[in-house]
Amino acid sequence: ETGVTQSPTHLIKTRGQQVTLRCSSQSGHNTVSWYQQALGQGPQFIFQYYREEENGRGNFPPRFSGLQFPNYSSELNVNALELDDSALYLCASSLGGGQGETQYFGPGTRLLVL
Amino acid sequence: GESVGLHLPTLSVQEGDNSIINCAYSNSASDYFIWYKQESGKGPQFIIDIRSNMDKRQGQRVTVLLNKTVKHLSLQIAATQPGDSAVYFCAETTDSWGKLQFGAGTQVVVTP
């Protein structure tokens, strides 16, 4: 186990709703990255938070937003849910935000949008 | 665009044999490469990494080889076991803040 936890494990929402997913990073890690993994595909980078600031962002619309708290846990918020948002959402924590820092993944939150 | 890709979507291996999973990358600026294993219903699990100033790195039963000339990465698993059945992803980073770019994955099926 990596020590990275995510909640909830599963979630069902309807189109247009909003969702908040949570991630607790491994002890001592100050960086959290979020990924979206569609069925049968590799994870796609959403954004990264380093010491409570967004440190980089992938090709996702503004309705995907996040937060990082002083204890380095993090939230991913998605507004105006669309059917294509159905996916496994993964968070990964690392010791820093730099290249070469190993990212350790949590078990993910499976989101289904109906 | 730049991408990380895998040669084979599915690899069937007999228990006890060695497995080789291949990965091609197209971004010559890639500096750090990682192999992850993902079992059904779980998040990706770190296996081994390698930096661009190396061409080989060994772990427990795993070896990663990097050929920068042809932009190719491989993961070798020795004496494959049923617990090795999973999807394997290679990933690369080029950004200074470590964004991981993943390929689609290779499904490894270990048969008795």
The C-alpha atoms of residue B105 and residue B36 are separated, in whole angstroms, by: 9
Give chain B positions within 8 Å (CB) of A55: 97
pLDDT of residue A97: 65
User: Is A48 in Cβ contact with B97 (below 8 Å)?
Assistant: yes
Q: At B64, which amino acid appears? A: V
The C-alpha atoms of residue B83 and residue B18 are separated, in whole angstroms, by: 14
Token pair 């039963």: residue:
B61
Give chain A positions within 8 Å (CB) of B98: 31, 33, 48, 94, 97-101, 103
Helix (H, G, I), strand (E, B) or coil at B82: helix
A42 closest CB neighbour out of B46, B96, B102:
B102
Which of the four pLDDT bands, split at 50, 70 and 90, describes residue B1? very low
Q: Is B52 on the interface with A (CB under 8 A)?
A: no
Judging by beta carbons within 10 Å of its beta carbon (0-12, 13-18, 19+), is residue A65 exposed, middle or buried? Answer: middle
**Predicted confidence (pLDDT) at residue B3 exceeds the cutoff of 60:** no
Which of the four pLDDT bands, split at 50, 70 and 90, describes residue B98? confident
A97 closest CB neighbour out of B49, B97, B105:
B97
pLDDT per residue as tens digits for the range B15-37: 999 999 999 987 888 889 999 99
The C-alpha atoms of residue B63 and residue B40 are separated, in whole angstroms, by: 23
DSSP string covering A4-25: -EEE-SEEEE-TT--EEEEEEP
Pairing of strands B106-111, B10-14: parallel
**Predicted confidence (pLDDT) at residue B99 exceeds the cutoff of 90:** no
B32 closest CB neighbour out of A42, A100, A106:
A100
